[in-house]
Each structure stands twice: as C-alpha cells, then as structure tokens.
Structure 1
Amino acid sequence: MTATKETRPRGARRWAIDLRPLAVPEFRRIWLGGGIAMLGFQFTAVAVPVEMYALTRDSFWVGLLGIAAFLPLLVFGLWGGAVADARDRRGVLLVSQALLWASMLALLLQAVLRVGSPVLLLALVALQSVGFAVSGAARTASLPRLVPAALVPAASTLNFTTYTAASVAGPLLAGLIFASWRTDVALPIAYGVDTVLFTAAVWATVRMPALPPEPDPDGDGSPRKAGLASIVDGLRYLATTPVLMLSFAIDLIAMILAMPRALFPEVAQERFGGAAAVGWLYGAISLGAMLGGLTSGWIGRLRRQGLVLVVAVVGWGLAVAAAGLARQLWLVVLLLAVAGASDLVSAVLRQSMLLVYAPDRMRGRLQGVNTVVIAGGPRLGDLRAGAVAAGFGTGVAWVGGGLVSAVLAIALVVVFPALLRYRATPAADRE
C-alpha cells in the first residue's frame, strides 16, 4: 500500500517537479554548476546574433550563424560521443570545457577591440560549437551513472527546467544591457558575464567522480577506441531501434522548420521598435519551458510516452505559427511560451527514452547523435528562417514554418506508427 501511494501522488505532488535527484551530491553539483553556466551562455546567445545583425543589417547573416554552429556539431557531436564511451567522461568534460572557455574569451576580446568582422564571428561560433558538442555528449551520458535508473526522467527534467529558467533570465538581463548601453558597449559586458559564470561548470566537473568506461560484455577486455568504427557501431545500434530513430526525426522536423529565433532581432526592431523586445522574444520559449518543468511531476508517470511526444511536437508547431500571426508583444511572448512548454515535454521524453533504452557502453555515442539533433536542429532552423525571410519576408518564414512542421510531424507518425505505439516500462519492472 505504501508503494502504491508513493507512485500515485495526490494533489499538488502530482504536478510539482520531482526534486529527489538533488539528494545525490554528485548530481546536485553538476546541476548547480550547469545552471549557472547556462545563465551566462544566454548572454552570448543574444549578443552574437545582435552583433551580427548590427554589422550586416541582414537576417540571412544571422541565419548563417546556425550553419556555422551546425557543421562542427555534426562532426564533433558524433566523435565526441564515441570519445565519451571510450575515455573517462570527467576528463572528456574538462578538455571540452577548456575549449569552450577559450572561445568565450575570444568573443570578448574581439568585442573589446571592435574588430567588426562577420566572418570572425562565424569562426568563433564554430569553435564554441566544437566544445559544446563534445561536452554535451559526455555530460548527459554520465547521468545514469550519477542517479538511479528510476530517477533518470526526474533528473532530466530538473536539468531541462533549470537550463530553461536560465534561458529566461539570461535573455531578459541581456535585453536590459542592450537597452541601457550602446551596442558597442553592451557586447563586451554580455560576453564578459558569460566568461565569468562559466567557471561554475568547470568547478562542478572538477568535483565529479571519475567515470571510466564500463567493460563491454561482448568485448575482449581491450580498451575501447573512439574511431570511425566506433561511431558506425553506434549508428548501427541506433538503426535497430526505430522508436529512437523516429524520436530524433520528429524533433528535427520541429526544430528545422519551426524555430523562429533567427528572426527575433529583425522582428524586435521593425515590429516592436526597441532593443528591449529582443530579450523578451529570446526568453519567451524558455519561459514556457521553465513553467512546464515546474509542473512536470506527471511526466515521470507517463506510459504512452510516444503518443505524448508526438502531441507535444505538433503543439510546438501550431503555437509557433500562432505567435507569428500575433502583433502584440505580450501575445507573441505568451504563444512562444506555450511552444516552449511543449518543447520541454518532448525534450524530456526523448531524453528519458534514450537513456533508459540504451546500454551504458552506447550512451555516449547515442547522446552524440542526440546532441547533433537537439543543438544542430535549431541551428539549421536558424539558417532556414534567415534564408526564407530574406526571400519572402519574416511572416512566411515564421508562420509557414510552424504550420508545415506540424503537418509533417503528423504525416511521419502516420506512415511509421512505431513511436505512437511506444509505452514506457514502469520503473519497478526495470529494477
């Protein structure tokens, strides 16, 4: 009877976010350090496109930032996942974070010196993407080694919710900076905040326990290699799990076709007439995701995870399209927040499915693929939005993308219904 009551919480506990993973000290440090670092990263996430638009006055150049970030993600996300399966994940994190720190310092330096080069901005975004790809695969693949399997969905939700909370506060604070100072003064401040706050992530990684690769039950005991054969082995495993393949595909559809953020600098200036609006636009999606995370207690109890994932992705596309039609800033923010809540649900479900489905020896490589999807998809979406806006205007790029993504997501699962049929295994049955 006691177990039944714990698995079926009543009242507010059914909806409140599950905080049990924070009782694990190792996870608590990673969660705290990552959240602080993510707050700093949001200053750069706003500053780079604002600087690019200020230099070029062209949303297409802002969209090129997406491709500059995606190509390194594609290569180093896969390779970084293989490295995370073959080496101590703590060591991999430290090396990749050093690279991230170097890219932040370079962005700060070019802003202080007022170099004013769009090409240099693209190059530094690409360098930062290399570090992000490797660190993202190693960090997330470590999660099931830090908390019990039954707490993986709750830990994933905590990470997403904290990161999205930082993604709300960061753009709003960055918007205040750009509203209070000239762009050439605000840029070094924004980049400098990111550089300082990133120390929290490095501190958390230094305090992590060593996470050497677990023995391969089918291997001969020799060290695992992080080469092309290892990457192919991971992709081969992924090809045998259509549920994971479809979860990646539907997310790519949503992000590439419906992500509107490359349009935010232009829309903020032309539709809402001020630099402060850009902070609200960049923070709105994350605001919705944060609120969705705070009321996410029900996610860990879902059985029909595949069906709910599809509904969330379709809801994302429709909410984005509606936001593109709105002409009041508050309504755009509200609709983007609804989209963000839908994205939080889909992201947590996809991450939990991956971490529970895959054995530890494969998690780094599959997380590398996931990093390419979750980080690369929005960047390809930036390129798509910028290119369509340059040719047909921001309205077509924003509204049309949201509608097409919803239609294609439905079509995909109608043709390949494996995702709709997927049901989660209860935690009690896995233990």
Structure 2
Amino acid sequence: MSLTRTLIDVRPLRTSPVFRRLLIGRTVSVLGSFMTMVTVMFQVWDTTHSTVWSGAVGLAQAVPLVVVGLFAGSWADRGDRRRIFLAATVGQAVCSLLLAVQGFTGGVPVAGVLVLVAAQSSFGAVGGPAAGVFLPRLLPREQVAAGLALNQVTAQAGMLVGPALGGLLLGWTSVGVCYLVDALTFVCAFYGAFGLPALPPEGEPARPGLHGVLDGLRFLTRHRVVRGALITDLAATVLSMPVSLFPLINAERFGGDPRTLGLFLSALAVGGVAASAFSGSVTRLARPGLVMLCGATAWGVALALFGLMTRPWPALALLVAAGAADALSVVSRATIVQTRTPDALLGRVTAAEQIVGQAGPHLGNLRGGLVAGWTSGATALVTGGLLCVLAVAYVGASTPELRKGPTGGP
C-alpha cells in the first residue's frame, strides 16, 4: 500500500472550497474553545480555591448539552441548518465577549461566570446538530469519512495546542484577553459557514416540540446500525473512560510525579492525532462498522493493559494506542451516523450522538472514580477495559450489519 493512500485522505480539501473554508473556521474556533476551557478553570480556581466550584465548571458545560441538545436536533430538522448554525455561532461569540468584559472588570461573581459558560454551552448544543448535516450535503458519499477524519485531526490538534496556548496567554496577559481572543475565533467559524448554501431538511420537516424529539428516538431504537454505533460509543466511554483515574494511577504506580500525569493526559491526544493523520487507508476501506468495532475493542484492551503497567514508558505507549483506536472509532461512528441517517432526521440523530459523546465520558469518569474508591485504580482500569471489550463483542454479535462491509439496511 502506498504512503499516499495511508496518509489522511485530503480529497475533500481539494474538491470542495466550501468544505475547506468551513474546516479552517472550525479549526480556529476549536482552538479558541480549548483556550477558554483553561481560562475558565483558572479563573474559577483563582477566585474560589474550591474543588466544588471547579467541578461545577464541567457541570455548567455538560448539563446544557444534554438538556438543550434533546430539542436542538428537532429545531435543526425543521429549518435552514446554515442559519441555525450561524445564529448559534453569534450567540457563542457574544458569551465570550461578556466573559471578556467580566474578566476585565472583575465585578461578576463566580456563579455569574458559570451562567455565561452554561449559556455558551447551550448555543453550542444548538449549533452542533445543525453542523452535523454539513458534510453529507457538501461532499460526495465516498468522501464523508475523509471529511470527518480531517475534522477529527484538527480537533485532536486543538486539544493538544489549545490548552498550552491558553496557559501561555494567561501568563502573558489576563483572563479578559483570553476570552476576547476566543470571541474573535468565532468570527472565523462564522465566516467559514457564511458561504454555505441554504440547507433545509430534505423530506418532511420535524414535528414541533416533544413530538419531533420522540420521532428521532423512535428512529434510533429501530435502526440497528445507527443504534449499534451509539451503544458502542457508550460502552467505550461509560465503562472504561480512564481520565479520572490518572492521578490515582500516577500516585499508586509512578510516585505521583506531575510530569508523568501531564504525559498521561497528552498521550491520548497524541495517539488520536497520529491515527487521524494516517487514516487514509481506513477511510477509503468503506467499512466503518468493522473499523468502529475493532477500534473500540482495541481501546478497551489497551486501557486494561495500561492498568497492569508498572513502568511509565510502556504505560504511555498503551495510552497512545488507546488514543489512536478511539480516534478511528469516533470517525467510523460519525461516518455511520451521517451516511445511514435520512437527512430529515440527521439533526436529531446528531444531537443524540453529541449527547452520548459529552455525557458518556462524564459518566465513565464517575464510574471509574467510584470503582477505584471501592477497590483500586488498577482494578477500575482493568475491569472497565474488559467490560468494554465484552460490550463491544455483544454489539458486534447482535448487529451483523456492522461487521459485514458497507453498512446498510436497518
């Protein structure tokens, strides 16, 4: 196999100027979002020195994604997705501007900061399902997986670079400047999407309110392939998410060295970037179901083995492997969702995928912490990884459509 076919497939960048502009805007915006994440955490801790308030930051981000996301998909399936995304982007930018104002003035209590964080997360929950329709409508079907891989590699790169840039900017300037920079990055996202054509739903628009939400849920329960894709993601995150266990494992096995802990957090992202950069052969394979199942299984195996490691370098290598497997699984799951869901339902299904992607890791970190409290960090990792493998094996056995080549049918 040639190196060209192994490297990430860049055909969408060559063939679609609209996608190219959209990707650039999204990349800049993701970078700003990770910078803001660090800035909010720093400001809240610096103001309160309270772990409770620091934990509330994650809650302020996650709850709106779940609550608003349930209805956002229905809204996206009733109107022009382009306009909805642009309006949501403006809302996020305004929230960043208000965060910048309070950062410069210093007159807003921490609760007010969290309200702004929750408002920005709510706008993100609205924009996400609307953006979920972009790639299937802009790219040929055979290039959708490649477009998703390009999105993934830029997101992983933002996860690596964004927090570091946020920390440097905080050291050089102030929280107000960091928030202001984030607000400016939303201008790039707005520009990237502004040139899109109108994207109303193809087919019957969603029914208003709860009826539309229930229609989307009924589709998920009946479509075996899409349902299997989301269950696989839940198995990988809820049963074996390792991040909350890193400090404990670091203390149990590696002397509590903060440098080792930092490397644990980076290793997953390094693996994700590497796998996405060399995803060309996988995205061209046109078997996203099989790739997703294999990737989720490899994630569970790598994390179970990580729980047994007593030396740092093999442990880091396993985390890199886990991050790589997860990245390929995520791209494949998104490919299944976006190519097997009718356009008229895609906003609602993307919203469900967004909720699973956001809530799953939080629940997984909670599960890991509880099991570790009863037993040990190693036990929580090993049992979680094995449970993930068993759950994925069950999904693969009960959903043969995911194993047998191009996904189709219910």
Aligning the two structures, in what range does the TM-score lie when normalised by the shorter sequence?
0.7 to 0.9
Q: Look up the match of 1:354.
A: 337
Residue of 398, 406, 419 corresponding to 2:385: 406
Give the superposition deviation at 1:283: 4.3
Residue of 352, 355, 370 corresponding to 1:369: 352
Give 1:332-351 correspondences, 5 Å limit.
334-351=317-334
Q: Look up the match of 2:289.
A: 306
Q: What do the CA deviations read for 1:273-316 (whole angstroms, capped 9, x no partner)?
A: 57xx8876654432221111110012124365434323322333
Q: Look up the match of 2:3.
A: 12
Kept after mapping to 2: 8 A contact 1:67/1:380: no
Give the superposition deviation at 1:415: 4.0
Give the superposition deviation at 1:125: 2.8
Q: Look up the match of 2:229.
A: 247
* Structure 1 unaligned residues grouped into runs of 5+: 1-9, 217-222
Residue of 196, 212, 219 corresponding to 1:237: 219
Q: Look up the match of 1:7.
A: none
Q: Look up the match of 1:71.
A: 63
Q: Call closer, same or farther: CA 1:104–1:61 in 2, change over 3 Å.
A: same
Q: Call closer, same or farther: CA 1:384–1:59 in 2, change over 3 Å.
A: farther
Give the superposition deviation at 1:38: 0.8
Partner SS state of residue 191, structure 2: helix
Q: Look up the match of 1:91.
A: 83
Q: C-alpha distance in 2, partners of 1:167/1:192?
A: 19
Partner SS state of residue 86, structure 1: coil
Partner SS state of residue 340, structure 1: helix
Q: Look up the match of 2:139.
A: 147
Letter in 2 for 1:285: L
Give the superposition deviation at 1:373: 1.1
Q: Call closer, same or farther: CA 1:304–1:31 in 2, change over 3 Å.
A: closer
Q: C-alpha distance in 1, partners of 2:246/2:112?
A: 22
Letter in 2 for 1:412: A
Letter in 2 for 1:286: A
More off after superposition, 118-127 vs 361-370: 118-127
Letter in 1 for 2:176: P
Q: Look up the match of 1:297.
A: 280
More off after superposition, 114-123 vs 69-78: 114-123
Q: What is the aligned-residue identity percentage?
A: 34
Q: Look up the match of 2:178.
A: 190
Partner SS state of residue 199, structure 2: coil
* Structure 2 unaligned residues grouped into runs of 5+: none
Q: Call closer, same or farther: CA 1:278–1:101 in 2, change over 3 Å.
A: farther
Q: C-alpha distance in 1, partners of 2:178/2:315?
A: 25
TM-score (norm. length: structure 1): 0.81
Q: C-alpha distance in 1, partners of 2:315/2:167?
A: 17
Give the superposition deviation at 1:107: 2.9
Q: C-alpha distance in 2, partners of 1:283/1:28?
A: 27
Residue of 110, 128, 131 corresponding to 2:102: 110
Kept after mapping to 2: 8 A contact 1:169/1:283: no
Q: C-alpha distance in 2, partners of 1:29/1:154?
A: 16
More off after superposition, 252-261 vs 156-165: 252-261
Letter in 1 for 2:37: A
Residue of 111, 114, 126 corresponding to 1:119: 111
Q: Call closer, same or farther: CA 1:402–1:268 in 2, change over 3 Å.
A: closer
In the alignment of these two chains, the number of paired residues is 404
Letter in 2 for 1:125: V
Q: Call closer, same or farther: CA 1:414–1:253 in 2, change over 3 Å.
A: closer
Q: Call closer, same or farther: CA 1:50–1:329 in 2, change over 3 Å.
A: farther
More off after superposition, 239-248 vs 409-418: 409-418
Kept after mapping to 1: 8 A contact 2:68/2:125: yes
Give the superposition deviation at 1:72: 1.4
Q: C-alpha distance in 1, partners of 2:237/2:67?
A: 19
Q: Call closer, same or farther: CA 1:303–1:142 in 2, change over 3 Å.
A: closer
Q: C-alpha distance in 2, partners of 1:327/1:202?
A: 48
Letter in 2 for 1:168: L
1:33 pairs with 2:15: no
Give the superposition deviation at 1:265: 9.0
Give the superposition deviation at 1:323: 5.7
Residue of 244, 256, 259 corresponding to 1:271: 256
1:315 pairs with 2:295: no
Q: What do the CA deviations read for 1:189-225 (whole angstroms, capped 9, x no partner)?
A: 4333322222110111222111122233xxxxxx644
Q: C-alpha distance in 1, partners of 2:42/2:300?
A: 25
TM-score (norm. length: structure 2): 0.85
